[in-house]
Each structure stands twice: as C-alpha cells, then as structure tokens.
Amino acid sequence: NAGVTQTPKFQVLKTGQSMTLQCAQDMNHEYMSWYRQDPGMGLRLIHYSVGAGITDQGEVPNGYNVSRSTTEDFPLRLLSAAPSQTSVYFCASSYLDMGFYEQYFGPGTRLTVT
Amino acid sequence: EDQVTQSPEALRLQEGESSSLNCSYTVSGLRGLFWYRQDPGKGPEFLFTLYSAGEEKEKERLKATLTKKESFLHITAPKPEDSATYLCAVSYQTGANNLFFGTGTRLTVIP
C-alpha cells in the first residue's frame, strides 16, 4: 500500500507556464482533495471530488483546474502560473461514509513561480 | 464567519513538562473535529477525530478532548520526538469531507 503519492516533489515555473501536479491513491477512496499551504495560513481547500467524474470548487479555486476520470487519480492543473501560486500543495483522500473518515495526505509538492 | 483558531502559535517545553494546545471553532453544524501532526517537509499525519462534546481520545502521550466551542490536545510528559506542528481542522459540510484548518501550533520539546 503506497497510500497517497504526489509528483513532482519540487517544481520551479516561470510566470505564465502551465503544469499538472499528479496525485494518486491506492486505497479505493471515493473522496479526494487538493489543499495549498502558505506560511501563516492554514491549509486551504482548492478543489475536491466525491467520486470519478464529480468535482467541485473549494475555498481558493481560481487559477486551478481538476478532473477525476478514475477513482485512483486526481491531477491538479495550473493553467497560467502566477507568483501568487507559489506554495506547498497537498493531495488528500478518504472514504466518504457520512463524511466522518480521516483524510490521508500525500507528501506534498513544493512549487515556486518566478 | 466560520473560523478555526489555534493557540498558542508556538510552544517550547522541557522534556517531561506537560501542557495543552487549544483549538477554538465557530462553525455551525460541526460534523467532526480532527487533529493532525505535521513534521517539516512532510504531509499532515492523522491523530484523532472527535465527533461530539464530551468525547475524549488518547494515543500514547496525547489526549484530545472536545467541548461545544473548543478542543484541547493535552501532551503528557513530552519527548523531543513529539516536536512538530499540530493542526486542528473541522468538517461541517454535508455530503463531502472538506476540512477547514487552523494555522497550527508549532511545538518544540527540549531535551
């Protein structure tokens, strides 16, 4: 069981470039989510999914796209990177039974936009 | 406005010196309160879930409690390996497991 995996671990982008952060889980979890973590702020929800083919916006969705074609994968796309998107990004997953199950987090992707 | 506030921001303890971390919340319809531990450069690691006021959970030197407005994470006789940032989060949305996080308490335990 690998749990939640994320790639890449580090990435540097120039303003305006696009890229995809990968997230995969092998626990057959229905729920997957993306958070960003910035100094002095709590983790903030970007997008989430309650199952394959179903996605929705979280607290800070602007500038990001997601899709969920399989249960296992939930990639996060930056369409046109901006310095304000410099952050550490975490993917998480959980079962979705009454919404009470703990989320398992990946190791994170540290993104710098110059 | 829904809010989760953790205090203190940082805490330094001598090894063996017990203390408590606080998480206060102002959300309506709380479905669960979660405690996570985060080590530098790592993702958050799940510790506890609390669902209703009066509930308590323990794990080694950690004990989490919940009231209607706040939760405490009690650390008894801490060791240097307990040094980490402790995050509190609440779930309050029906139909999804979305979490709203506090900013965390950075704990340092000095040998």
Tell me how far CA of residue A114 lies from CA of A15, A16, B77, in angstroms.
6, 10, 45
What average pLDDT does range A105-112 have in this prediction?
Answer: 97
Is the Cβ pair B43, A4 closer than 8 Å? yes
The encoded tokens of residue A36 equal: 């960003």
The encoded tokens of residue A57 equal: 């916006």
Q: Is the per-residue pLDDT at A100 higher than 90? A: no
User: How many CB pairs below 8 Å do chains A and B form together?
Assistant: 74
Asked if A60 reaches chain B (Cβ–Cβ under 8 Å), the answer is no
Is the Cβ pair B99, A103 closer than 8 Å? yes
**Residues in A touching B7 (Cβ below 8 Å):** none
Find, in chain A, the residue whose alpha carbon is nearest to that of B94: A99
What average pLDDT does range A24-42 have in this prediction?
Answer: 94
pLDDT of residue A96: 79
What average pLDDT does range A18-41 have in this prediction?
Answer: 95
pLDDT band for position A97 (50/70/90)?
Answer: confident
pLDDT band for position A102 (50/70/90)?
Answer: confident
Tell me how far CA of residue B51 lies from CA of A76, A93, B27, B31, B82, in angstroms.
31, 19, 14, 6, 25
Is the Cβ pair A41, B103 closer than 8 Å? yes
Per-residue pLDDT of chain B (111 residues; tens, 9 = 90+): 668 999 999 999 999 999 999 999 988 788 889 999 999 999 999 999 999 999 999 999 999 999 989 999 999 999 999 999 999 999 877 667 789 999 999 999 999
pLDDT digits (tens, 9 = 90+) for A61-91: 999 999 999 999 999 999 999 999 999 999 9
Which among B24, B29, B30 has a CA at the least distance from the CA of B103? B24
pLDDT of residue A3: 94
Is the Cβ pair A42, B101 closer than 8 Å? yes
Q: What is the dihedral of CA B36, A109, A3, A25, to 10 degrees?
A: 120
